[in-house]
């Protein structure tokens, strides 16, 4: 019987982009699969949110629930997914984000990868360091707010 593993994304990692614009995903965050393992979307906060297959499956279920005749929902899906990018890691654990996502996040040279348990974010170093104070709260205050 094959043991089921759960991948979660915790920690903060700063990695340089290589000459081809690729960034390395931390080894404990890598999920084996085909070239479309992860889904990346531009986040309105000025960074990139990356979803693993488990979250993509949940998203797929939500999309399937929408009526094909719901013109507004179909337009929203087109808007959202036209900005998305799917990818997998190469053998060295690198990913290649498209130019639009890198530009959206302002990533040049280095990127900060930040776990949020079920997905992770990719930030430019400068934007991550300049986050608003409410995004950099005390860990215990954050736990209290989340009811943990």
Domain that holds residue 125: 12-145
CATH code assigned at 29: 3.40.1550.20
3-state secondary structure of 22: strand
Q: Is 97 inside any structural domain?
A: yes
Q: Which of 108, 128, 138 is nearest to 43 (CA)?
A: 128
Confidence (pLDDT) at 115: 95
pLDDT of residue 3: 39
The pLDDT assigned to 36 comes to 65
Say if 6 falls within a structural domain: no
The pLDDT assigned to 134 comes to: 64
Domain count, the chain: 1
Q: Does the reported pTM lie above 0.85?
A: no
Identify which of 117, 5, 9, 119 has the alpha carbon closest to the alpha carbon of residue 53: 119
Could you tell me if residue 7 is inside a domain?
no
Sequence-distant (≥ 6) Cβ neighbours of residue 107 within 8 angstroms: 17, 48, 97, 122, 123, 124
Per-residue confidence in pLDDT tens, the chain, 148 aa: 343 455 789 999 999 999 888 999 998 998 876 666 899 999 999 999 999 988 988 888 988 898 889 899 889 889 989 999 998 888 889 999 899 999 999 999 999 999 999 999 999 999 999 987 666 666 677 667 777 7
For residue 2, the model assigns a pLDDT of: 40
* pLDDT, position 114: 96
Give a yes or no: residue 105 inside a domain.
Answer: yes
Tell me phi and psi for residue 44, to 5 degrees: -60, -20
Determine phi and psi for 19, rounding to 5 degrees: -60, -20
Question: Is 3 within the bounds of a domain?
Answer: no
| 98 within some domain | yes
Q: Is residue 2 part of a domain?
A: no
Query: Which of 117, 77, 123, 132 lies closest to 101 in space, CA to CA?
Result: 123
5 in any annotated domain: no
């Amino acid at each position: 019987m094959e043991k089921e593993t759960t991948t979660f994304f915790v920690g903060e990692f700063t990695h340089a982009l290589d000459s081809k614009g690729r960034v390395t995903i931390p080894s404990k965050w890598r999920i084996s699969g085909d070239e479309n393992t992860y889904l990346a979307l531009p986040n309105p906060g000025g960074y990139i949110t990356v979803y693993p297959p488990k979250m993509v499956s949940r998203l797929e279920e939500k999309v399937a629930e929408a009526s094909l005749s719901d013109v507004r929902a179909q337009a929203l899906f087109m808007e959202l997914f036209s900005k998305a990018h799917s990818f997998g890691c190469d053998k060295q654990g690198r990913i290649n984000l498209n130019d639009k996502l890198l530009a959206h996040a302002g990533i040049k040279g280095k990127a900060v990868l930040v776990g949020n348990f079920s997905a992770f974010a990719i930030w430019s170093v400068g934007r991550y360091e300049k986050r608003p104070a409410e995004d950099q709260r005390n860990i215990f205050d954050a736990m209290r707010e989340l009811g943990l």
